[in-house]
Amino acid sequence: NAGVMQNPRHLVRRRGQEARLRCSPMKGHSHVYWYRQLPEEGLKFMVYLQKENIIDESGMPKERFSAEFPKEGPSILRIQQVVRGDSAAYFCASSPLPKKSSGNTIYFGEGSWLTVV
């Protein structure tokens, strides 16, 4: 799972600024997932993307959050006008094409820690 690359590892933003978190999936993986971990909590699903497509964004907050996975380049999680409550660890994960017959194991990156001051 070390193959999922996230940057930056740590990001500090003032309230009202924008945060951009980047994720490059493991080699050979075309499916990307973003999860958020609030302090003292487990991870919570945010969004599932394939190249140029959002497949499931049921866990994304309705406002200020967006995600993309362009044809070229990493996946981006963007948070506009950050607030203190956005302070959290944001984990990206990737997988190859999910198989209904054998399930899907997703592999996490090392996370990006956003602190809003």
Partner 1 sequence: AQTVTQSQPEMSVQEAETVTLSCTYDTSENNYYLFWYKQPPSRQMILVIRQEAYKQQNATENRFSVNFQKAAKSFSLKISDSQLGDTAMYFCAFGSGGSNYKLTFGKGTLLTVNP
Binding site for partner 1 (CB under 8 A): 1, 31, 33, 35, 40-45, 48, 56, 58-59, 89, 91, 93, 95, 98, 100, 102-111, 113
Are the CB atoms for 106 and 99 separated by under 8 Å?
no
Residues forming beta bridges with residue 99, ordered by sequence position? 103
Find the shortest distance in angstroms from Cβ 81 to partner 1: 26
Q: Which is nearer to partner 1, 14 or 62 (CB)?
A: 62
Cα–Cα distance between 43 and 46 in angstroms, integer?
9
Q: Which of 49, 117, 37 is nearest to 77 (CA)?
A: 49
Find the shortest distance in angstroms from Cβ 52 to partner 1: 18
